[in-house]
Copies of this chain bind each other. A is one copy, B any other.
Amino acid sequence: MMTSSYYFKYERVEDAQQKLLSLAGESMRRVEMLDVRDAIEYVLAEDIHSERDIPQNDIAHFDGYAIRSEDTKLASLKNPLRFKIVKEIKLTEQGSDYEISSGEVIYVPTGCELPQNADAIVPVESVKREGDYIILTRPIAKGFHVIHKGSDIRKNELVLRKGTVILGQHIKVLLDSGIFEVPVYKKPRVVVMPIGSELTNDSNEHHKKLETHSYLISYLIEKNGGIAMQKAPIPDDPILISKEVEEALENYDIIVTIGGASVGKMDFTWNEAKRIRKPRLEIRGIKVHPGRVTSVVLFERPIIMLPGLIQSTLSGTIFILLPLIRFLAGLSPSPLYPKFVGRVKSVIKIPEYKPFKRVRFVKRIESISNEKGKFIDLLRYESFHSSVLLKADGIIIIPENIDEISPNETLTIYGVYGLF
């Protein structure tokens, strides 16, 4: 009954990622139009150009009198000129509904559009007023204290580039630019299905183990551009597993199982997933340790099977699940970012799985004994330990096919978006 396809065929992580992104990523990525106000933390799928000039008109930079500069050329202390205040405009009024003729001014508040024919502002505090007149004793330059139309953003100017993650300031500027809908990458809907008869999501079921991995994985999904939906644990029953997986394939973009993906006698997920129909892509194990059990079966939509021990679950999440989610959401695929570079404190031996990439959770320490500098401290743990997640500052990735890393060798500690 156990066919050879049941066993692992460990693929290089880069190969697995590349296959999944090109087969699932490219065909599944979607763009949708969203109301700008709902687009927060989505990623722009196109360059955006302003629909209007900002400001939309020439406006006053100060409370003052809108004037025709050419009328003021001859003004001086010896030749004071009088201008009649023909109107006081309120901020709620449109400046362009009014106009001035030669010898006239109109009072405008800061931010008000200039009346017709006006091309400069005389600030209130810099001019003498007599009744309905102002007395000007110097010429006013064209454009004086005027904020010119389009001086902040010009119509048709590129305001935001494709790939921008939309934050608060972008919402503001988009709306200011007259843009009320934007094309964004659709966030994939990801269902998280823990598998294991020993698991429960009810903390009152004391004879079972409370399932908690899905809280962490769902949070990471959300922080990396996905919309996560947590499901109750499914028992180790091939009929139930295949029923739930087939249903999920109808309703979600990505199906994630946790546990039950290895080759033990209670591991049904791989076989049940493959039984559904002929997959477009199979990945049976990846060359990363921990996390080697991570597998993928892709039809139109992928089933991503994560191992059940928490550090393995995370490794599969970091190297396989999150890159796909991030790609679909329009982000750079890797959820890793370099956090700092440090020296290894003590030798790291690689006793097994040498052709595999190795992930270790590590802590940054500022100095050791008499030596100053930044060091990397390997946290001691087993791969089912979760306390390490509370202590780690990040991960190191040890390349394939090396026997050990010597003390003082320099490595990068990577952070993972949403984790540390």
Q: Which residues of A contact B (CB under 8 A)?
A: 37, 40, 54, 61, 63, 90-92, 94, 109-111, 147, 151-153, 159-160, 167-173, 175-176, 180, 196-198, 203, 207-208, 210, 212-213, 215-220, 223, 235-236, 264, 266, 310, 382, 384-387, 389-390, 418-419
Contact = CB atoms under 8 A, between A and B. Distances in A.
A210 B386 contact: no
A172 B216 contact: yes
Nearest to A221: B168
A173 B418 contact: no
A339 to B, nearest CB: 14
Given A90-B197, A152-B385, A264-B63, A390 B160 contact: yes
A215 B389 contact: no
B266 A109 contact: yes
B173 A386 contact: yes
A196 B227 CA distance: 38
A169 B218 CA distance: 10
Given A147-B382, A382-B147, A385-B152, A198 B168 contact: no
B92 A176 contact: no
A198 B91 contact: yes
**4 closest A-B pairs by CB:** A168-B219, A168-B216, A169-B389, A91-B198
Contact of A384 (B152, B207, B218, B236): B152
B390 A170 contact: yes
Nearest to A92: B197
Given A152-B385, A203-B180, A172 B91 contact: no
Given A169-B386, A175-B215, A180-B203, 4 more contacts: A91-B236, A167-B418, A167-B419, A169-B389
A91 B212 CA distance: 17
Contacts of A266: 91, 109
A176 B219 contact: no
A247 B207 CA distance: 52
Contacts of A264: 63, 109-110
A207 to B, nearest CB: 6
Q: Which of A90, A197, A198, A264 has the most CB of B within 10 A?
A: A198
B386 A172 contact: yes
A223 B176 CA distance: 22
Contacts of A90: 197
Nearest to A90: B197
Nearest to A159: B390
A83 to B, nearest CB: 21
A8 B412 CA distance: 51
12 contacts: A37-B215, A91-B197, A92-B197, A92-B198, A153-B387, A159-B390, A168-B215, A168-B418, A171-B216, A173-B389, A176-B210, A180-B203
A69 to B, nearest CB: 20
Contacts of A212: 171-173, 175-176
Given A92-B197, A92-B198, A215 B387 contact: no
A373 B164 CA distance: 26
Given A91-B196, A203-B175, A387 B63 contact: no
Given A91-B198, A94-B207, A208-B92, A171 B219 contact: yes
A218 B159 contact: no
Given A90-B197, A91-B196, A219-B167, A213 B172 contact: yes
Given A91-B196, A197-B92, A220-B168, A176 B419 contact: no
Nearest to A164: B390
Contacts of A151: 382, 385
Contacts of A216: 168-169, 171-172
Contacts of A387: 54, 152-153, 159, 173
Contacts of A384: 111, 147, 152
A267 to B, nearest CB: 11
